[in-house]
Amino acid sequence: MSHRGSVTDRLVDANERYAAAFADPGMDARPVLRVAVVACMDARLDLHDALGLELGDCHTIRNAGGVVTDDVIRSLTISQRALGTRSVVLIHHTNCGLESLTEEFRHDLEMEVGQRPAWAVEAFRDVEQDVRQSMQRVRTSPFLLHADDVRGFVFDVKTGLLREIDPT
């Protein structure tokens, strides 16, 4: 099924241009810098540009809020055990959409569709506290091999700067 002129078509067209100039770098799937970055899906955060990352450098795991959910632990476990990463960088950001939501979102959703989602919204009020909680979830996961190099940051969407959050 095709919707000519849709945003997806625009992406597919861009891909054709990308592929035309693409040369297989012959890389291994294991991230060169042995790092996994967990970040919010926010459209204003360009992880590769913001962190000076090149193709092949890292794993990027993104979701709403950059929250460390069970599924993020799943990806981190595979990242470390099957693909050799050792460091974890967590990035939340200022002005996150999750700051304006509450667990009421889940309740309202249930009222609307007649089914309660299995997941938590993971809304938060205090971004620093949420980064700390995320670091804690990574550090205490029994599935990960490397929990000693876990650092958390808040990306400022106005300045582009990262601010590190003290884990305690």
Measured from the CB atom, the residue of 42 and 130 that comes closer to Zn ion is: 42
Cβ of residue 37: shortest distance to Zn ion, in angstroms? 14
Q: Least distance (Å) from Zn ion to the CB of residue 115?
A: 25
Cα–Cα distance between 48 and 73 in angstroms, integer?
22
Nearer to Zn ion (CB atom), residue 121 or residue 144: 121
Q: Which of 96, 127, 150, 165 binds Zn ion (CB under 5 A)?
A: 96
- Total of chain residues touching Zn ion, rule CB under 5 A: 3
**Region of 55-63, 94-102, 139-147, 153-161 interacting with Zn ion (CB under 5 A):** 94-102
Closer residue to Zn ion (CB): 33 or 50 = 50
Site for Zn ion in 20-59 (CB under 5 A): 40, 42
> DSSP per residue over the chain, as a string?
---TTSHHHHHHHHHHHHHHT-------SS-TT-EEEEEE--TT--HHHHHT--TTSEEEEEEGGG---HHHHHHHHHHHHTT---EEEEEEETT-GGGG--THHHHHHHHHHSS--SS-----S-HHHHHHHHHHHHHT-TT-S--SSEEEEEE-TTT--EEEE---
Residue 128 burial (C-beta neighbours within 10 Å; 0-12, 13-18, 19+): middle
Quick one: which segment of 26-34, 92-100, 115-123, 143-151 binds Zn ion (CB under 5 A)? 92-100
Residue 131 interacts with Zn ion (CB under 5 A)? no
Closest to Zn ion by CB, 15 vs 129, is 129
Cβ proximity to Zn ion: between 69 and 80 the closer is 69
- What is the distance between the alpha carbons of residues 135 and 88, in angstroms, rounded to a whole number? 9
Q: Which window, 17-25, 88-96, 106-114, 115-123, contacts Zn ion (CB under 5 A)?
A: 88-96
Give me the residues that bind Zn ion (CB under 5 A), please: 40, 42, 96
